[in-house]
Amino acid sequence: MKIELKNICKTFNKQSNTINNLDMTINDGEFVALVGPSGCGKSTTMLMIAGIYKPTSGNLYFDGQLVNDLEPKDRNIGMVFQSYALYPHMTVLDNIAFPLKQQKVPKEERYERAKNAADMVHLGHLLDRKPSQLSGGQQQRVALARAIVKKPKVLLLDEPMSNLDARLKIEMREEISRIQKELGITAIMVTHDQEEAMTTADRVAIMKEGELIQYSSPMELYNRPKNYFVAQFIGNPPMNFLKSQLAVKDGKCQFYINDTTVDLNNHLPKIKSHNSIKDIYAGIRPYDLKLGQKGDITLDGVVSLVEPTGHSKMVNVKVGDDRIRFFADPLQKIERGSKITLTASISSIHLFDCESGENLTAETIGEGQDNKLVINS
Amino acid sequence: MEGIYEPKMEAPKIKTVSKWNARIPYIIAYGTLGITTLPIILMYLWLLMSSFSTQMKHGVIPVEFTLENWRFLWTNVEMVGSVYPSIWTATWNSFVFAGVLTVLEVIIGVMAGYALSRMEFPGRQGIMKMTMMLHAFPSVALLIAVFFILNFMGLFDSLLGVILVKTALQIPMTAWIIKGFFDDVPWDLEWAGLIDGCNRFKVWYTIVIPIIKPGIAAVSIFSFLAGWSEFLLLYTFVLSDDNITLSTYLQKLISDPNLVNYGLLSAVSLFYMIPVLIFFIFTQKSLMQVSAGGGKGV
Report ipTM for this prediction.
Answer: 0.81
Residue B85 has a pLDDT of 86
Q: Which residues of B touch A71 (CB under 8 A)?
A: 194, 199
Q: Which residues of B touch A156 (CB under 8 A)?
A: 195
- Whether residue B84 is contained in a domain is answered as yes
B92 in contact with A, Cβ within 8 Å: no
A82 contacts B188? CB cut-off 8 A? yes
Same domain, B19 and B154: no
Residue B291 has a pLDDT of 47
- Whether residue A284 is contained in a domain is answered as yes
CA distance A21 to chain B (A): 25
Least confident of A306-315, B74-83, B140-149: B74-83
Same domain, A79 and A225: yes
**Boundaries of domain holding B52:** 15-66
Q: Residue B168 burial (CB < 10 Å; 0-12/13-18/19+)?
A: middle
pTM for the whole structure: 0.78
d(CA A7, CA A109): 42
Same domain, A354 and A234: yes
B199 in contact with A, Cβ within 8 Å: yes
Q: Of A68, A22, A58, which is closest to residue A41 (Cα–Cα)?
A: A22
- Whether residue B224 is contained in a domain is answered as yes
- Whether residue A376 is contained in a domain is answered as no
Residue B77 has a pLDDT of 78
CA distance B200 to chain A (A): 10
- Identify the domain boundary among A197, A229, A261: A229
Same domain, A46 and A126: yes
As a whole number, mean pLDDT of residues B179-203 equals 91
Q: Which residues of B touch A146 (CB under 8 A)?
A: 192, 196
B57 in contact with A, Cβ within 8 Å: no
Of A50, A88, A89, the CB nearest to B195: A50
Average pLDDT, chain B: 84
- Whether residue B2 is contained in a domain is answered as no
Same domain, A222 and A238: no
- Whether residue B261 is contained in a domain is answered as yes
B207 in contact with A, Cβ within 8 Å: yes
Same domain, B257 and B286: yes
Same domain, B90 and B125: yes
pLDDT tens over chain A, length 377 residues: 899 999 999 988 777 778 888 999 999 999 999 998 888 888 899 999 999 999 999 999 999 999 999 999 999 999 999 888 999 999 999 999 999 999 999 999 999 999 999 988 888 888 999 999 998 889 999 999 999 998 999 999 998 888 888 888 888 889 899 989 988 999 999 998 888 899 999 999 999 888 899 999 999 998 888 889 999 988 888 899 988 888 777 666 777 776 667 776 644 545 555 667 788 888 889 988 888 888 778 888 899 999 988 888 899 999 888 889 999 888 888 888 888 888 888 778 888 888 888 887 745 444 433 333 332 32
Does B160 or B72 have the greater pLDDT score? B160
Same domain, A164 and A272: no
Residue B3 has a pLDDT of 47
Same domain, A256 and A241: yes
Same domain, B48 and B109: no
Helix (H) or strand (E) holding A188: strand A186-191
Residue A375 has a pLDDT of 29
As a whole number, mean pLDDT of residues B176-183 equals 90
CA torsion angle A177 A178 A180 A183 (round to 10): 170
B202 in contact with A, Cβ within 8 Å: yes
For A358, which DSSP code? B
Residue B10 has a pLDDT of 52
Residue A124 has a pLDDT of 85
Residue B63 has a pLDDT of 82
Same domain, B110 and B36: no
Same domain, A177 and A99: yes
As a whole number, mean pLDDT of residues B188-210 equals 92
- Whether residue B3 is contained in a domain is answered as no
- Whether residue A373 is contained in a domain is answered as no
Backbone phi, then psi, for A218, in 5-degree steps?
-55, -40
d(CA A218, CA A204): 6
Residue A369 has a pLDDT of 37
A87 in contact with B, Cβ within 8 Å: yes
**Boundaries of domain holding A141:** 3-229
> In this structure, what CATH number is given to the domain that contains residue B133?
1.10.3720.10
B198 in contact with A, Cβ within 8 Å: yes
CA distance B199 to chain A (A): 7
- Whether residue A370 is contained in a domain is answered as no
Same domain, A201 and A156: yes
Does B280 or B167 have the greater pLDDT score? B167
Same domain, A275 and A174: no
Count the helices and strands in chain A (H runs, E runs).
9, 20
Same domain, B284 and B163: yes
For A359, which DSSP code? B
Same domain, A190 and A317: no
Structural domain count, chain B: 2
B191 in contact with A, Cβ within 8 Å: yes
Same domain, A155 and A282: no
For A134, which DSSP code? S
C-beta of residue A191 within 8 angstroms of C-beta of residue A158: no
Scored b (16 or more CB within 10 A) or e, A207-241 reads bbbbbbbbbbebebbbbbbbbbbbbbbbbeeebbb
Strand-pair partners of A353: A280
Residue B108 has a pLDDT of 95
> In this structure, what CATH number is given to the domain that contains residue A45?
3.40.50.300
- Whether residue B1 is contained in a domain is answered as no
Q: Which residues of B touch A153 (CB under 8 A)?
A: none
Q: Is the pLDDT of residue B80 over 90?
A: no
For B85, which DSSP code? P
3-state secondary structure A238-296: CCEEEEEEEEEECCEEEEEECCEEEECCCCCCCCCCCCEEEEEEEEECHHHCEECCCCC
- Identify the domain boundary among A190, A211, A229: A229
Q: Which residues of B touch A110 (CB under 8 A)?
A: none
- Whether residue A79 is contained in a domain is answered as yes
- Identify the domain boundary among A194, A229, A264: A229
A53 in contact with B, Cβ within 8 Å: no
Of B195, B207, B211, the CB nearest to A72: B195
Same domain, A171 and A252: no
- How many CB atoms sit inside 10 A of residue A128's CB? 10
Residue A91 has a pLDDT of 93
Q: Is the pLDDT of residue B135 over 60?
A: yes
Q: Which residues of B touch A85 (CB under 8 A)?
A: 186, 188-189, 191-192
- Whether residue A375 is contained in a domain is answered as no
Residue B298 has a pLDDT of 34
For B205, which DSSP code? I
Helix (H) or strand (E) holding A190: strand A186-191
B120 in contact with A, Cβ within 8 Å: no
Same domain, B48 and B86: no
- Whether residue A372 is contained in a domain is answered as no
Structural domain count, chain A: 2
Q: Is the pLDDT of residue B18 over 70?
A: yes
